[in-house]
Amino acid sequence: MNTESTHTSNKTSLRGTKQSLPLVPKLRFKEFGGVYSERNLKEFTKINQGLQIPISERYSEQVEGSYFYITNEFLRKGSKKSYFIRNPTDSVICFEDDILMTRTGNTGQVVTGVHGAFHNNFFKIKFDDTCEKWYLYFFLTSYVTQHKILTLAGISTIPDLNHGDFYKLKITMPKFPEQQKIASFLTAVDTKIQQLTKKAALLAQYKKGVMQQLFSGELRFKPALSEVEGDEKGNAYPDWEEKRLGEISLRIGDGIHSTPKYDEDGNYHFVNGNNLTKGKIELNDRTKRVNDKEYLKHHRELGTRTILLSINGTIGNIAFYNNERIVLGKSACYININDSVDLIYIYLVIQSRSIINYFVSELTGSTIKNLSLKTIRNAPINLPCFEEQQKIATYLTSIDTKIETINNQITQTQTFKKGLLQQMFV
């Protein structure tokens, strides 16, 4: 089910309803009618907190009779740390069909599909047979409910949702068969998002591997037949050369080391390394501005074949300069590439593992890391002939285009799901 088919099926199986009717959703499956009932969660749910175990009593690996210990660490993206505990009470054990929700810290995060013993930061939510599990799950994760949960938890440094506040939450519910239909439909949308996310991750992993092979020369392109002259030619492009980045650059310099006078009505943005992301300069309403006078005082001649790189604090953010009206700060540098090489190839090489490792090995500073211009100029660049540079750049760019297309589909499907949650729940 792609985003388009999701919309199509929506048009054929869902119908609009009048918002003026009491407790009737804007969007509904055509076979259902009547009004929703409004209930407090206290009427059909029961919650209990988990168990707080000191780190000294946790195991870093599973041992006989131990349970996976579900903590906030489990929710952190990319976390590889796991804990296990022994002899938890039955009340703090959850199974795949149970629903957990964080009650403090990152309050309101909803978890299901996990087996283990849960930390005191979680509620386990039991519910009776008048409620379909996934209907409750999607209600709890909806924007409106999440906003209410955070409001009830308070605005302290560590928000905390107590039992009484949880039970105050109200849910609007159709009959059980309609709950099942709504839950099944939204689960299908979630499945599509998960499939797209996995596909994008696999493509990114593939790109990372193929970049290493291409930039090391392990994987080579050969000339097309149209490039060949004579029977004895065309077996391979010439051997690669090693150049320093400074040798193929017209200028390499950093931004200004002073703080300009900001002007919210200025025509130019003040850009630092944190503004560089995924090949673009990210500008928004929070980006500082300077006026024409400050620009003339501080600007750098960047040119059209310029790559910007973060060199202070956060290292390695990268972007093309595309004639944006900017003044560059000291946490970024500019690299003007000469026209003897392919600009996109050099942009990609700078992101390769070998160059990143080289940069990391040459960092200076203790608390705040810094990448010197000398180090950047001395960066070793493996350089094939211009034609092979172009082929490498085209191939890797095509992968980026596929990843961007998938990410756009993910965003569209997430937006579609958000709209469903707003319209299918009253």
Q: What is the pLDDT of residue 224?
A: 73
Number of domains in the chain: 3
> Does 232 fall in a domain?
no
Cβ atoms of 242 and 380 closer than 8 Å: yes
Q: What is the pLDDT of residue 76?
A: 86
17 has a pLDDT exceeding 60: no
Cβ atoms of 347 and 307 closer than 8 Å: yes
Q: What is the pLDDT of residue 16?
A: 54
Closest CA to 92 of 64, 59, 51: 51
The answer on 142 and 37 residing in a single domain is yes
The answer on 396 and 277 residing in a single domain is no
The answer on 36 and 111 residing in a single domain is yes
Q: Could you tell me the residue range of the domain that residue 144 belongs to?
A: 30-173
Share of the chain above pLDDT 90, in %: 80
Say how far apart CA 410 and CA 413 lie, in whole Å.
5
Q: What's the average model confidence in pLDDT over 229-256?
A: 83
3-state secondary structure of 145: helix
The answer on 379 and 294 residing in a single domain is yes
Using DSSP bridges, classify how beta strands 45-49 and 122-127 pair: parallel, antiparallel or unpaired.
Answer: antiparallel
Q: Which residues pair with 277 in a beta bridge?
A: 280
Per-residue confidence at 1, pLDDT binned at 50, 70, 90?
A: very low
The answer on 370 and 258 residing in a single domain is yes
Tokens 């199986």 locate to 13
Q: What is the pLDDT of residue 13?
A: 56
Say how far apart CA 50 and CA 65 lie, in whole Å.
19
Share of the chain above pLDDT 70, in %: 92
Say how far apart CA 370 and CA 139 lie, in whole Å.
47
> Does 7 fall in a domain?
no
> Does 10 fall in a domain?
no
8 has a pLDDT exceeding 80: no
> Does 234 fall in a domain?
no
300 has a pLDDT exceeding 60: yes
Q: What's the average model confidence in pLDDT over 156-174?
A: 90
The answer on 394 and 376 residing in a single domain is no
Q: What is the DSSP string of 196-207?
A: HHHHHHHHHHHH
pLDDT digits (tens, 9 = 90+) for 207-238: 999 999 999 888 999 887 555 554 445 568 99
Higher pLDDT: 16 or 411? It is 411
pLDDT digits (tens, 9 = 90+) for 100-144: 999 997 899 999 999 999 999 999 999 999 999 999 999 999 999
Please, what is the average pLDDT of the chain?
A: 90
Q: What is the pLDDT of residue 12?
A: 41
Say how far apart CA 24 and CA 43 lie, in whole Å.
21
| H or E element at residue 66 | strand 66-70
pLDDT digits (tens, 9 = 90+) for 303-317: 889 999 999 999 999
Give the CA radius of gyration of the chain: 28
pLDDT digits (tens, 9 = 90+) for 181-213: 999 999 999 999 999 999 999 999 999 999 999
361 has a pLDDT exceeding 90: yes
Q: What is the pLDDT of residue 105?
A: 78
Q: What is the pLDDT of residue 18?
A: 46
Q: Give residue 395's identity as a one-letter amino acid code.
A: Y
Q: What's the average model confidence in pLDDT over 360-379?
A: 94
> Does 17 fall in a domain?
no
Q: What is the pLDDT of residue 232?
A: 46
CATH number at residue 415: 1.10.287.1120
pLDDT digits (tens, 9 = 90+) for 320-330: 999 999 999 99
Cβ atoms of 125 and 9 closer than 8 Å: no
Q: What is the pLDDT of residue 244?
A: 97
Cα angle: 138, vertex 42, 36; to 5 degrees: 55
DSSP type of residue 250: E
> Does 116 fall in a domain?
yes
Q: What is the pLDDT of residue 229?
A: 52
Say how far apart CA 16 and CA 18 lie, in whole Å.
7
> Does 12 fall in a domain?
no
Q: What is the DSSP string of 297-349?
A: HH-----SSEEEEEEESEEEEEEE--S--EEEBTTEEEEEE-TTS-HHHHHHH
Q: What is the pLDDT of residue 223?
A: 86
For 74, the token pair is 């489990």
Closest CA to 100 of 73, 123, 70: 123
147 has a pLDDT exceeding 80: yes
The answer on 287 and 358 residing in a single domain is yes
| H or E element at residue 421 | helix 386-424
Cβ atoms of 214 and 352 closer than 8 Å: no
pTM summary value: 0.81
3-state secondary structure of 159: coil
The answer on 330 and 425 residing in a single domain is no
